[in-house]
Amino acid sequence: MILNHIWGLYAHPKEEWHVIEKRHESLSYSLMHILTIALIPAICSYYAAAYIGWTIGVGDPIKISVASAQIMAIGMYLGLVFGVFALAYLIQWMAKTFDSKPDFVQALELAAYTATPLLMVGITALFPVLWFVALAGIAAVAYSIYLLYSGVPIMMNIPEEKGFIYSSSVVTCGLVLLVSLMAFTAMMWTMGFGPEFVS
């Protein structure tokens, strides 16, 4: 089953990382996990932006046209999938520095399962109130970082001391990647690809 590790990552993460490390599923398995979970924020954000409207503070909810919402949802989906693959590449690339030699599938498993809480929190977009989504997002980021710190020593087969530094390096690269994606989005908006707002 594609989503069989999700409950374990929330209920008993360290034990689940050991299970994931022992099984080492195929590339297609990790790919299906990413492609499935990344649908959650894309679909929920599309529905919220086109049909419910975002509440930023006082005033009426802000909606965008269905066509704009579709384009943004597709862009978000592709950006999320690209982000997980880029993070996996960075994890594999940095491994040499920490005396680990994972293959790309191992790095992709680590990136995919670490990103799972961040992607699953996209369901909060169905209640599109900015403060609520922001708080849920902060909680998801915190848990994803915890998963990364607990998973790196297990998945990369390195001591915990090296795993801490390795994880910190991955978090830094992940933040740079996130800022790069946000900058790219802002550039696209200024080039005329921004949303069409409706009343």
Q: Is residue 116 part of a domain?
A: yes
Q: Give Cα separations from 167 to 29, 64, 163, 193 (angstroms).
A: 24, 38, 6, 35
pLDDT tens-place string over residues 34-64 = 999 999 999 999 999 999 999 887 778 889 9
DSSP code at position 127: S
Domain-embedded: residue 6 = no
How many domains, in total, are found in the chain? 1
Q: pTM for the whole thing?
A: 0.90
Rounded to an integer, the average pLDDT of 72-81 is 93
Does residue 114 lie in a domain region?
Answer: yes
> Strands (DSSP E) along the chain, which ranges?
63-64, 197-198
- What's the alpha-carbon Rg for the chain, to the nearest Å? 18
Q: Is 71 contained in some domain? A: yes
Positive or negative CA dihedral for 52, 55, 59, 65? Answer: negative
Classify residue 191: in a domain, yes or no: yes
Is residue 153 included in any domain, yes or no? yes
Three-state secondary structure call for residue 179: helix
Domain that holds residue 28: 24-198
Summarised one tens digit per residue, pLDDT across range 100-140 is 888 999 999 999 999 999 999 999 999 999 999 999 999 99
Q: Is residue 81 situated within a structural domain?
A: yes
Angstrom distance (rounded) from CA 56 to CA 59: 8
